[in-house]
Structure 1
């Protein structure tokens, strides 16, 4: 009998990690192959489903960091450890670790854009011998909006980390400013071989990628992830289609040489 691609499977919530008032990570039971940057369709019967990026990968679970923004995600936030959600996936094209291994890596993320690339940061923070150096620049609106705060402590021990906010009160320990203003100050060993990942809101990605090109990075060494609502996840509904590209199948992770041409 053929497998029904639309049929979800039940997954137990192993842990719920609260980051902000509206952003939690749900650690879901899962056994199987998955890459950073891929996504699952998370559903609750009678409420619908929503595409959620993978923000962490373990042997027996995946992390899904969810922002409470509507009916489906609002209902998900009523679930706790020991409850279950329904998942379909993983779907899409994720970040391939091989593209960054043995090179200097620069990761620039804005807001919730840190979630889909967090798996890459986690991997190399534990395998720095596989890089020629790594820098993470992460920007949030305010200190209260920072995600994965405990992880930043671990990352800072392994790599160069710039944590910045758009605005803050006098007590903040963060730097203040947009992520783009730190690009010209980067001390990269070899710009021709440096690889970069940029994930965040469209305007942030546009100005950030231009900033990287301005300092000499090659287009083919930059990777991005498109933020779009994937409905079916398997290229059937056309909701995420741009020209002849299905973001749910060909992305959401793209080399910049391809991704920069995807304009609605």
Structure 2
């Protein structure tokens, strides 16, 4: 009988330094998660943490991790060839069937680009999956930019706006992602579109409000967020908001539900 909370070791194939604080770990695995699902990553006698899948392919999977605590700091001491313990996948991913054939708008900020990265790669690799992609991607400053090769490739495939919160940088817009949502040609899409918003809770909150100002219905908006997901199987209650267990019913939520969950 498979134990849903038993971590298993996986060899680290590569470690990519994205920024001073974020590394992408590629592990060897045959698992094929849904786009947007998460795993629990752990080190024996250290602890574990929930991390969304940032990319995957045949025989490998990637996690982009920010060094923010005991477990993640220790992860950064690992090298290719070492073992990383993993359990999952958990939660609900992006609603692929509902996105198929629509105009897709993605608004992502900071490390929030990670949970939607594999979906964007799918859109780039499969031109018939969606009708079009409008991507708004924002970072705090130049030192925080993740996935530079992907950003260049996405800019060739999608209508892309890349912005830094307050820093002026060649090739980049300036301002919060919320200031650029109105540039998306929603009128052209008619009723055939979907919006994905991923980032810090405060960013998703104000992006949701901006979408509402533009007349975008709640049911067309999807968000993803992680909230203290410790057990990942709905037993510990750390991620619970009222009667909603984020680890089970999320991390992807339709905005009809998410607007009452965001802090």
TM interval, short-chain normalised: over 0.9
Superposed, 1:1-264 pairs within 5 Å as 2-169=1-168, 171-188=169-186, 189-262=188-261
The runs of 4+ residues in structure 1 deviating greater than 3 Å are none
Aligned residues of 2:205 and 2:262 also touching (Cα < 8 A): no
1:19-75 C-alpha deviation (Å, 9 max, x unpaired): 101100001112123012111110001100011110001121111000001110011
Secondary structure of the residue aligned to 2:215 is coil
Quote the offset at 1:96 in angstroms.
Answer: 2.6
Secondary structure of the residue aligned to 2:78 is coil
Aligned residues of 1:18 and 1:25 also touching (Cα < 8 A): yes
CA-based RMSD of the aligned residues comes to: 1.3
Quote the offset at 1:263 in angstroms.
Answer: 5.2
Quote the offset at 1:119 in angstroms.
Answer: 1.1
> Structure 1 residues 157 and 71, CA, compared in 2 at 3 Å: closer, same or farther?
same
Question: What TM-score do the two structures reach when normalised by structure 1?
Answer: 0.95
Q: How many pairs does the alignment contain? A: 262
Quote the offset at 1:6 in angstroms.
Answer: 2.2
Quote the offset at 1:7 in angstroms.
Answer: 1.3
Please list every run of 5 or more consecutive structure 1 residues that lacks an aligned counterpart in the other structure.
none
1:107-150 C-alpha deviation (Å, 9 max, x unpaired): 00011011001111110011122222111101100011010011
Aligned residues of 1:242 and 1:263 also touching (Cα < 8 A): no
Aligned partners of 1:14 and 1:25: how far apart in 2? 11
Question: What TM-score do the two structures reach when normalised by structure 2?
Answer: 0.96
Quote the offset at 1:156 in angstroms.
Answer: 1.0
Aligned partners of 2:262 and 2:166: how far apart in 1? 30
Aligned partners of 1:36 and 1:150: how far apart in 2? 20
Quote the offset at 1:90 in angstroms.
Answer: 0.7
Aligned partners of 1:22 and 1:120: how far apart in 2? 24
1:163-183 C-alpha deviation (Å, 9 max, x unpaired): 1001225x5331111111111
Aligned partners of 1:157 and 1:26: how far apart in 2? 26
Aligned residues of 1:105 and 1:134 also touching (Cα < 8 A): yes
